[in-house]
Structure 1
Amino acid sequence: MKNSSPEIVSIVVFNSIKENFQLEYENWQSRIGEKIKEFNGFIGISNKKLEGITNEYFTIFQFDTSYNLSKWQNSDILKEYLNELKQYSISESKVSQHDGLEIFFGKTETATQSTPFYKKVVLGVIAVYPLIIVVGKLYDWLNPWAEKIPFEIGLFFQVIVISALMTYPVMPTLAKILHKWLTN
């Protein structure tokens, strides 16, 4: 049964690519990025090459529910792309799944305990509070009809912008900057 509650489910995939196959892999990333957009509940994809390393990449796939993610994971399209990936990969992909904002808190295989709840709250406040102020003022400044639009509709558009900024770049950047504090 489809989960109707809002959630974000992220899959992080690390790949080590064979020497001289980086362009083929990047093309593969682009093509799978276009195909995944056809699936219900798809939110976004982010492809990154690890800095200073020529053949290490990670990709973050985000879906609105575990159900929709599962539909994609069990699709024939994904199986075809994973089969093709074997040509370019040195080893099997390393995959981790994260629910909600968990992805921003630096969980690793070596971590023995998760970030304390109060630190997650502090990080959220540090990220959300300035965004609410800045996006609200920008909305009022850019939208001369703000007084004529119902509050709920204006707030809805502001929440979309804030959520997008929270997902990337605000939370990943803050988590990176405050990593030592979050993990101590």
Structure 2
Amino acid sequence: MAQPAIPPYDGATVVITHRVRNNRHEAYAVWMETISPLCKAATGFLDWHIVRPIPGITATYTVIIRFDTKKNLQGWMESNDRKRLIKAVKPLLVGADDFYISSGLDFWFVPGGARTKVPMRWKQFLITWSAIYPLVLFVPLGGC
């Protein structure tokens, strides 16, 4: 019996960085509570992660958002809701609304602005599993 073909993953990720002005972090947190549900309701949304700054060391928030397709991600990034909210948050930011869009896991292997080629998919797979496999194999043994 033939197995149905699994469609290729055509996911897309955006990495957004916002450097927040001193003493504006609470206002930025309120802004994040406003934009988050709108983003999560967008077509094709998969997940959202926030890397918050370390007080006294950095003022940069990094937001990683994944969508099922690059088209849906661009739809969110270019939406009127997002444009309106980015305009509202600009006074809280030191710089611009910086972001980098990538398909799949490519952004983990080639930094934004790099002039190198993305490694072949099989090489990405090998590197990823060479990091994950030892963790899966040995970390549970350490808990005994």
Q: Assess if the C-alpha contact under 8 Å between 1:105 and 1:115 holds in 2.
A: yes
Q: 2:23 aligns with which of 16, 20, 31?
A: 20
Structure that is richer in helix per residue:
1
CA RMSD between the two structures:
2.7
What TM-score, normalized by structure 2, do the two folds share? Answer: 0.74
Deviations 1:94-148 (A, max 9, x none): 2111110112225143x44246436523213325656888xxxxxxxxxxxxxxx
Does residue 71 of structure 2 align to residue 59 of structure 1?
no
Per the alignment, residue 140 of structure 2 pairs with none
The answer as to whether partners of 2:16 and 2:62 remain within 8 angstroms in 1 is yes
Contiguous gaps of at least 5 residues in structure 1:
134-184
> Which of 18, 41, 46 is 2:44 aligned to?
41
The equivalences for 1:1-184 within 5 A come to: 6-51=9-54, 53-109=57-113, 111-114=114-117, 116-117=119-120, 119-127=123-131, 129=133
Identity %, equivalent residues: 25
What is the identity, as a one-letter code, of the residue corresponding to 2:43?
A: N
Query: RCO greater where, 1 or 2, for CA within 8 Å and sep 6 or more?
Result: 2
- Work out the CA distance in 2 between the residues paired with 1:116 and 1:6: 17
Contact 1:107 1:114 in 2 (8 A): no
| Contact kept? 2:100, 2:112, Cα under 8 Å | no
**Normalization by structure 1: what TM-score?**
0.60
Task: Please state how far the C-alpha of 1:37 moved relative to its aligned partner.
Answer: 1.4
Q: Secondary structure at the match of 1:86?
A: helix
| Contact kept? 2:18, 2:98, Cα under 8 Å | yes
Seen in structure 2, the aligned counterparts of structure 1 residues 81 and 66 have a Cα distance that, compared at 3 Å, is same
Q: Deviations over 1:125-182 (max 9, x none)?
A: 325656888xxxxxxxxxxxxxxxxxxxxxxxxxxxxxxxxxxxxxxxxxxxxxxxxx
Listed one character per residue, the Cα deviations across residues 42-91 of structure 1 (whole Å, up to 9, x for unaligned) are: 01111112446331111111110112112212222111111111120111
SS at match of 1:87: helix
